[in-house]
Amino acid sequence: MSIKAAVVLGTRPEAIKLAPVILAMQRDQVFSCRLIATGQHREMLDEVLRLFDLHPDYDLHVMRPDQSLFDVTSRVLLGLQPILEREAPQVVLVQGDTTSAFAGALAAFYLRIPVAHVEAGLRTADKYRPFPEEINRRMISLLADWHFAPTEWAQNNLLREGISSERVFVTGNTIVDALFEILQRPSPPLPEPIARLTGRERLVLVTAHRRENWGEPLRRICRALRALVDAFQDVVILFAVHLHPRVQRVVHEELEGIPRIFLLGPVPYEVFVHILARSVLILTDSGGIQEEACSLGKPALVLREVTERPEGVEAGILHLVGTKSEHIVAEASRLLRNVQADQRTAWRPSPYGDGHAAERILRILRERL
């Protein structure tokens, strides 16, 4: 018997985390998979699809310049209706907390199609942090039939919200599957600023793009980076700058031309993974990078006031610092001065899984369907 599944994704992080599941389905004779790309993030999504050799069966092409959440939600919802009606899958898979994931789950619910939620149960208990992701994932939890929680902490969040234990499963996080798969490949050429390093420098990797950090919080982050290169002459900072104009404008205004701070656009994921592996410290407001840092044993400063990934904080790998310049500088300096920081974290097992999450998800779906 064949199980017909539809996978809905629209952003680079979704594609990275769902790629192991889709590839596992393609290898499994039980599953017939239809991949639906919303195109919420166009260029960044396409790069990951090529990396994993994934070819959407449908593409909604919803991305527009300066698109709003209203635009994305309505276009994804309306675009999915005729596709799901035509394909009539037995299950729709969505991942995480994007607007594409929420609209995908809602469209499936409207058509009475069961929903499977990959990376379920993450919570900050603050509906505006991160925005709109915290509410997106809570609403997906109300719509989903099966919840694939990455950790026991995430599982317990769902159980406290009244979701039946028979529908919640701890699988690990599929990002670990993707990360390990990429690290097994030969290292690609690294960007010119990194390729020129002699090995005596210490590389610090930075990403920041959350809506709640736009404007003054991002400027404070940039000021902290200037202070760090002033304080540590052997530190080189690579800032992978998000494509959104509000991020680009502030970062380039604050950091353009500063010695030992290199500004790059988003780099291909396989390149990014190898840069992560070479870094001694990571500063980020990204959720996925928090998980990747833990999987690689790399200390990371979380540039947010709250995180839905407290397991990494409890493991001593993630450090929640917010966006105040003085807090960022103080914690980064502490870690950079402690030459044993990497060794202390590197041996600790990642709380986010062993790289076999996709296998567990498929096994559970086979049993339920």
Would residue 201 show up in a list of annotated catalytic residues for this protein?
no
Q: Which listed residue (14, 47, 59, 97) is catalytic?
A: 97
Would residue 28 show up in a list of annotated catalytic residues for this protein?
no
What is the rounded distance in angstroms from the CA atom of residue 199 to the CA atom of residue 362?
A: 43
Would residue 61 show up in a list of annotated catalytic residues for this protein?
no
Contact present, 127 and 103 (Cβ < 8 Å): no
Q: Which of 363, 1, 306, 288 is closest to 128 using CA atoms?
A: 306
Would residue 319 show up in a list of annotated catalytic residues for this protein?
no
Tell me the CA end-to-end span of the chain in Å, nearest whole number: 10
Q: Which listed residue (119, 134, 181, 291) is catalytic?
A: 119
Q: Which listed residue (133, 134, 181, 331) is catalytic?
A: 133
Q: Which listed residue (12, 34, 137, 242) is catalytic?
A: 242
Q: Which listed residue (12, 117, 137, 209) is catalytic?
A: 209
Find how far residue 72's CA is from the centre of its chain: 19
Q: Which listed residue (167, 202, 211, 327) is catalytic?
A: 211
Would residue 270 show up in a list of annotated catalytic residues for this protein?
no
- Which residues participate in catalysis according to the annotation? 97, 119, 133, 209, 211, 242
